[in-house]
Amino acid sequence: MKTIGLIGGTGWVSTLEYYRLINLETIKLLGGHNAARCVLYSLNYADINECNLREDHEGVYNFVLDAAIKLKNANADCLVICANTMHQYVDRLIEEVKLPIVHIADATAFEIKKLGLSTIGLLGTKFTMEMDFYTKRLNDAGIKSLVPEKPERLFIHSTIMDELLKEIFKPESKKKFLDIINDLEIKGTQGIVLGCTEIPLLIKQADTHLPIFNTLEIHAKAAVNFANR
């Protein structure tokens, strides 16, 4: 069993769920009293947020790089970044830290392809929806991504920042998310990628007939599979 290095705290609400799911998946895979070998470095999201507000992406990268180096020094065999948005730095991290990274978009693409879907709706932070680091990964797997219009993207981003990261789940926010999902279905999406690891804490498969891809759950399972190859 490899030791998983978790870069968490972005935010802590979903990081808690990562730890729980990774251990549940380990028990499911190995049985008995097995649990995951893992080391968690939890960032202070306030530091990340301050950098984002002044568009200091290099500052964000340096926080993530520092966490990755500390995990390597703690004998982690691979890295799991507990946030979709932070995967924009994966290529640089692999080059500098020299550890494999279990990529959340690749794991999600695998699950989408298993259902034979070619067009998905992508919900996440404005960075995930508007930059190409995520959609390119899906596109390389033959999957087209649709994102909401700008007002809806801003709503999703602000809800993540002001509510979900603080463990606040409002019924009216959930309704708005479902309205956005319905609109994406009208535009041709065949499934919905919850491309922020806090969104699955608000939106569940039972809320829509469209296939929902819970990236937190998918990523946790992929991490366990990688650690036990």
The domain of 131 spans 104-214
Please give the pLDDT value at position 177.
98
Q: Tell me, yes or no, whether 82 and 117 share the same domain.
A: no
What's the CATH code of the domain at 145?
3.40.50.1860
Confidence of residue 163 (pLDDT cuts 50, 70, 90): very high
Portion of the chain with pLDDT greater than 70, in percent? 100
All residues at 6 or more sequence positions from 179 whose CB lies less than 8 Å from its CB, including other chains: none
Split at pLDDT 50, 70, 90, the class of 61 is very high
**What rounded mean pLDDT belongs to the chain?**
97
Q: Which of 149, 139, 147 is nearest to 196 (CA)?
A: 147
Decide if 104 contacts 132 (C-beta within 8 A): no
State pLDDT tens for residues 115-138.
999 999 999 999 999 999 999 999
Domain count, the chain: 2
Q: Are residues 89 and 131 in the same domain?
A: no
The alpha carbon dihedral of 140, 57, 59, 121 has a sign of negative
Q: Are residues 153 and 196 in the same domain?
A: yes
